[in-house]
Structure 1
Amino acid sequence: MRRLGRKLNRRYFPTANTSRGRAQDRARVAGGQDHEVQYEAEKERVSKSKVKETVKKVGNSRKKVEANLEK
């Protein structure tokens, strides 16, 4: 790896736009990001506060959040 201060080599720092990164991001609900909370609330037809509560309760796994909201 090159020394600091020089241009960073992309080989060592891949971009976040890999297919693996996108899939992992879609598998989670970011409770602090309004657009993700809004999307999940509209999808499950519940309030945004209910989605935020659920994320705090069960974690940020999209499957767990959706399963808990369906109850």
Structure 2
Amino acid sequence: MNSWVNASKFFTGASTVGSIAIPAILKHAGIIGWGALAMELSSFFIFVIAIMCYMSMYDEDGYSSMI
């Protein structure tokens, strides 16, 4: 079971790094422009902010733990 947890952590980290690194590499190679890079990075940060908002709204110590 522990190996599946480690594999999922690895793939999550690789996905996160790749979603920032691949557009940066494409911009450096001249394949995409500044607008495409800015749009991709802004969508990544909006996604991260949405996840952080969801995690802050999901409260384990709320009324549901009193039952």
TM-score, length-scaled by structure 1: 0.30
The structure with the greater share of residues assigned to helix is 2
Which one scores higher on RCO, CA 8 angstroms, separation ≥ 6? 1
